[in-house]
Amino acid sequence: MVDVSVSIVVPCFNHAHFLNEALQSVLNQTYKNWECIIVNDGSPDNTEEVAINWCEKDNRFKYLYKDNGGLSSARNAGIKISTGKYILALDADDILHKDYILKTLKILQQNPDLAIVSSYRKFFVGNISNVTKTYEASGNTYRDLMFENVLMPSSIYRKACWVEVGGYDESMTKGFEDWEFWISILKRGWKYKFVEEYLFYYRKSKNSMLIDTLKNHRITNMEYVFEKHNEIYLKHFRNTKAYLFFLINFYRNSEIKTKISLEYKIGSYILLPLRIIKRMLK
């Protein structure tokens, strides 16, 4: 029996309608030494039916059911039963380029100081031919991630690092859990790297978890991360202060613009009858 090198963990909650595309992109990988663990996070849709079909199609696919506990909990559950030396956490609505594992894993295996390898990515709507945006990130240490998560959740990393930091933080149920996870790893001295090719397709959705997080939970999540890893934010106090004042000014200016815009709309609405009467009198 060949030892599995890469364990792909695919949590699924209410995304059964996208799951086939994600798993097909796993099956299409030019790198073949993988297992794929589909974690049903208590999903009320037909996730189980879709997952079992894939397990019957190829024995490298495995299925795990658990009560709903959130994305971090689902990832941790899948990784706990994984056998690979390297982990790839793939969201159920995203798609891998056929050479994703081949090219990222090669870099990771050749560089013992690297914990994580990622790639450039494309954002799409509907299908991967409908690309709406591309993203080319950079950096290599925790300092490049302190104020913005440039690494995508589906980066490939060493399972030993997951063990080292105690897995994903399961208390973070409102997003940013991958950002916190990367910081936990990298602040210990590990580095990361990007393959400078578009090897990943991120599905954009109006109702995605990321949209909800940015809209409703961004500040709360940031406060949690800053507090949990306060030693690095205090160490780089000037940068932290500059960023926080930038945020304050950003939100203040946004509020001023919104207020001005609202007042203008209300004023225009109130004055509309007067303008109509004026035109009639002319």
Rounded CA separation 65/168 (Å): 18
Average pLDDT over all residues of the chain: 89
Which of 37-46, 134-143, 246-255 is predicted least confidently?
A: 246-255
Phi/psi at 132 (5° precision): -105, -20
Number of H helices, E strands in the chain: 10, 9
Counting beta carbons within 10 angstroms of the beta carbon of residue 248, is it exposed (0 to 12), middle (13 to 18) or buried (19 or more)?
exposed
Q: Where are the domains of the chain?
A: 6-205
At 259 the pLDDT is 55
Q: Would the pLDDT of 1 be above 50?
A: no
Q: Would the pLDDT of 280 be above 60?
A: no
Average pLDDT, integer, range 240-250: 80
Q: Would the pLDDT of 27 be above 70?
A: yes
Nearest partner of 96 among 171, 195, 239, judged by Cα: 195
Tell me the per-residue pLDDT of 189-237, one tens digit each, with 9 for 90 and over: 999 999 999 999 999 875 555 566 666 778 899 999 999 999 999 999 9
Rounded CA separation 247/266 (Å): 28
Instruction: Give me 141's structure tokens.
Output: 């240490």
Q: Would the pLDDT of 50 be above 80?
A: yes
At 281 the pLDDT is 53
Average pLDDT, integer, range 29-53: 97
Query: Which CATH architecture fits 6-205?
Result: Alpha-Beta Complex (3.90)
pTM: 0.85
* E strand or H helix at 109: helix 100-110
Q: Would the pLDDT of 254 be above 70?
A: no
Average pLDDT, integer, range 98-117: 97
Tell me the per-residue pLDDT of 265-278, one tens digit each, with 9 for 90 and over: 555 555 555 555 55
Average pLDDT, integer, range 167-189: 96
DSSP annotation of 213 reads I
At 272 the pLDDT is 53
Q: Would the pLDDT of 177 be above 70?
A: yes
Rounded CA separation 149/175 (Å): 12
At 151 the pLDDT is 96
